[in-house]
Structure 1
Amino acid sequence: MRKVIWKQGRKLCLLGVLAALSIFASGCFGGGKEKYTFRENGIDLLEAGDYEGAIQAFDQALEASDGMVGNFELDILKYRAEAECGTGDYEAAANTYAVLNQVDGERPEYLGRSCLLYVKAGAVDKALEQYQRAYAKDPAGETTQEALLAVGQGLTDAGRFDDAMGLYESALSGGMQNAELYNRMGLCQLDAGKISDALDYFEQGLSMADQEPEVRKKLVYNKAAAQEQNADFAGAFTTLESYVQEFGSTAEIEKEMTFLKTR
């Protein structure tokens, strides 16, 4: 029974971009109208799905700037990261956010975003470092919480169950308690083969998910999956009956319930 979760090419040359921005150390915001033309061209290409062309245009906009680092340059870097995501080069996009951190001060939203992107790129250790820095600055922030779930899932997928649980438990002790976090802890323990512990976490998540129907839906389903893995077929069937009453049925659920009846 399937569990429910949410689920290197070209690299940005950090030194090159920082060099382009470093010339802003003195002087005024500027670069003339040309940089705005490049930006608009880049946005048009981005919206049209020409991500490589957009990246080139955004680089031209940065090169055409000759003032202090301001909102224009920061805006361009964010657009560039979006274009890099479009190409599927998530590590390059994460590196772009590293540039933003260096030129705009280290911000939790930049750290959290780079964490999410490093996870997508499969660079879990880099993601973990970014999450830890984001947590130190804003432990209760929405972006930090999103980063926690992403890097925790990345560690789980890599088979690093103890590392993932340590991360989750640290967040819990720091006051970051919510139903989705307990769901992830349950999934981690389920993947680690600790079914009893997984069921405990799913139950804890359910106890606080009354106002979160989408999370509750996942928790009920995952509880049934854990019961099935634990050879508690009657319990899994009963849990799925509750699922159907609350959320409705699907062909997959009906197939699973038919299977459980035969066990």
Structure 2
Amino acid sequence: MALAVQVKIRRLFAAGVLALIMLCGCSGKEKKNFEAGKALLNEGKYAEAVDAFDKAIDAHGSNNIRGLEIDILRYRAEAEYRAKDYKAAEHSYKLLTSADENRSEYLDMLSIIYTKLSNTDMDINIDNAIDMYEKAAKQDDKSELHINAGITIVQYYEDMYDKKLDNTYLDSAEEFLEKLLKETDRKNAKVLAVYAKHMSKREDYDKALEAVDEGIALLEKKKLNKSDDETLKSLMFSRGSCYEYKSDYNKALEAFNAYIEKYGEDDSVSHEEAFLKARIR
């Protein structure tokens, strides 16, 4: 009897060891594919990254969205978005919101995705994007992603205006920009840069220049990252353009020269410089 018990114990122990080996193998496969997916994402190989993240999720083997699987889903959603597979990205972010429905990151990304899908998906329009943006705004997290979500909506309206030449789209863009300015208390240079371009399009160059000056003043007070530098570049170009449209050619040339001194020449600014020099003569 004692021998039978010992045999049973050994069998149970062997089965436990086998199960542990299988579990560790699964975990190792999961992490291996996860790390491979992140590397592919960094290399810009978005479709391949999605495949790797899918394999990691399959290896996870859980029906519940928890633990490491949430991280994998977040990376997969980003890869799908960067691959411009917006429907797939929408699905992934919806899964993520089922785990945390109030996380602003997921809501803002859904807002951006819905904006991208507007006019291409019969079930989605710009109102869906705005609803998601406003839900994210209630979380009181004014991150750069949230600002980008708002700017994406503004750009949608301006693109629609360019296509249809319907001023109601410009009105909607301006209304949403005013909302962004209020939310950021006019303390976000990127919003001010977009507002400056918008007011220039509406031929209100004084308001555009006011926004340019505010934006540049904000950036002068901080150490610039890549995004800040792109914003400053936009603001400096807008300054020259506004003065040119106001027929103040000397100030316009001065502004474009400052732009060239900082960022070098490109086709657009070289054209403006040549035009202005001809006018001043």
Task: Name the counterpart of 1:17.
Answer: none
Aligned mate of 2:66, from 70, 81, 106: 70
CA gap of 1:36–1:106, structure 2 versus 1, over 3 A, is farther
Which residue of 235, 250, 255 corresponds with 2:251? 235
1:201 aligned residue (211, 214, 218): 211
Q: Using structure 2 for the length normalisation, give the TM-score.
A: 0.68
- Structure ranking higher on relative contact order (CA contacts 8 Å, 6+ apart): 1
Query: Is the alpha carbon distance of 1:185 and 1:251 closer, same or farther for their aligned partners in structure 2, counting shifts above 3 Å?
Result: closer
Does 162-171 or 129-138 show the bigger shift? 162-171
Equivalent residue, structure 2, for 1:138: 140
Q: CA RMSD in A?
A: 3.0
Which has the larger displacement, 126-135 or 188-197? 188-197
Aligned length: 230
Deviations 1:122-147 (A, max 9, x none): 56443322211111111533432232
Unaligned runs of 5+ in 2: 1-21, 119-124, 162-168
Structure 1 residues 3-152: aligned runs within 5 Å: 32-33=23-24, 34=26, 37-38=29-30, 40-41=32-33, 43-44=35-36, 47-48=39-40, 49=45, 50-51=48-49, 53-54=51-52, 56-58=54-56, 60-61=58-59, 64-66=61-63, 68-121=64-117, 124-152=126-154
Q: If you compute each CA radius of gyration, which structure gives the higher value, 1 or 2? A: 2
Answering whether residue 272 of structure 2 is matched by residue 256 of structure 1, we say: yes
**Alpha carbons 2:53, 2:72 under 8 Å: kept:** no
Distance 1:198 1:58, change over 3 A: same
Q: Percent identity?
A: 24
In 2, Cα distance between the equivalents of 1:52 and 1:218? 34
Indicate if the aligned counterparts of 1:182 and 1:201 stay in contact, CA closer than 8 A: yes
Distance 2:91 2:74 in 1: 11
One-letter amino acid of the structure 2 residue matched with residue 250 of structure 1: E
User: Is 1:222 aligned to residue 238 of structure 2?
Assistant: yes
